[in-house]
Structure 1
Amino acid sequence: MPVFLVLLVMMLVEIAVIVAVGQAIGVLVTILLLIAVSVVGVAMLRRQGMRTLAAFGDAVRSRRDPQPEMADGMLVGVAAGLVLFPGFVSDLLALFLLFPPTRAIVRRRLVGRAQRRRPPQVIVVDSEVVHEEQRPPIVIESVREDRD
């Protein structure tokens, strides 16, 4: 699905949800709620981003596989984009990705899917066949310098 289409559908869903919430609780409360959810999202984004960066540094320093921390960093980046996108649905998805237990679920599924899609490793060794009659004889000479 093209990115433009996804953004268009997401924008229409966000507008519909904002209008519905605004009709249910009032325009001023809806605007204050949007601001509050965005502030909470930015605060969580900063906190989880710093934790993920520290965990990545620890993994690299201890020579562990940093794949989980890299996936977490990517998911925190997606959450950052969702927090910047105005609306309740995107903020809810961002908070879902910023909450460590739910992010771990998404990370496991993402890594598992990527591993299933990865082609199997094939090792190719470039070599040449030499027949027995064409091979020159091997001569080993040794000289010891400590004996005269």
Structure 2
Amino acid sequence: MRVFAVLLVGFAVEVTALVAAYGAWGLLPTLGLLLLGGVVGSVLLRREGARAVAAFSEAVRTRRAPHQEVADGVLIAAAAFLIILPGFVSDVVGLVLLFPPARRVLSRRIARRAEERERAMVLNVRYGQHPMAGGVVVDGDVVEVRPESSSDRPELT
């Protein structure tokens, strides 16, 4: 539900920005800025993507875990998606994601949040709460109970 709300708000912001740009500059300058953002974004995307692949290859070659390189690759892919979408706000966010300092800050925040979630799940499991069920896990045995047949019951007279 959160993702849908974020997408809906993002769409409303993009449409508002496009209408405001059209009202301020007209149709041709607005389209020109959208195309310019796409071209600049694709050039930066190609450059940063090549850097990320080279850094990943170097990390693998030197046999160290490529955590930061993988995070950079995912954020660069997100930036590419945002730049491809038509709109000024998504272009700006995508361009910001293409700059290495912004990616580093964001990837650290994502890693820290993932560690906190993992720690919370481990504690929940350790103290008897199942993370998926949201309740307490009770260990027990299954006992079969067979109904009595009429021949096993004593007859009442």
In the superposition, the TM-score normalised over structure 2's length comes to 0.72
Report the counterpart of residue 69 of structure 1 in structure 2: 69
Partner of 2:86: 86
> Is 1:102 aligned with 2:102?
yes
CA RMSD of aligned residues (A): 1.8
Post-superposition shift, 1:3? Answer: 3.4
Q: Partner residue of 2:51?
A: 51
Aligned AA (1:94): G
Task: Give the equivalent residue in structure 2 for 1:28.
Answer: 28
Aligned partner of 2:36: which letter?
A: A
Alignment-derived partner of residue 18 in structure 2: 18
Q: Work out the CA distance in 2 between the residues paired with 1:65 and 1:89.
A: 34
Unaligned runs of 5+ in 2: 124-157
**How many Å separate the matches in 1 of 2:116 and 2:70?**
18
The amino acid of 2:87's aligned partner reads G
Identity over aligned residues, as a percent?
50
- Which segments of 5 or more consecutive residues in structure 1 lack a partner in the other structure? 122-148
TM-score (norm 1): 0.76
**Bigger relative CO (Cα 8 Å, ≥ 6 apart):** 1
Deviations 1:71-121 (A, max 9, x none): 111101111110111100000000010011111111111111112222459
Alignment match, 2:114? 114
Deviation digits for residues 41-70 of structure 1 (CA, Å, limit 9, x no counterpart)? 111111111110110110011011200001
Residue 22 of structure 1: CA displacement? 1.4
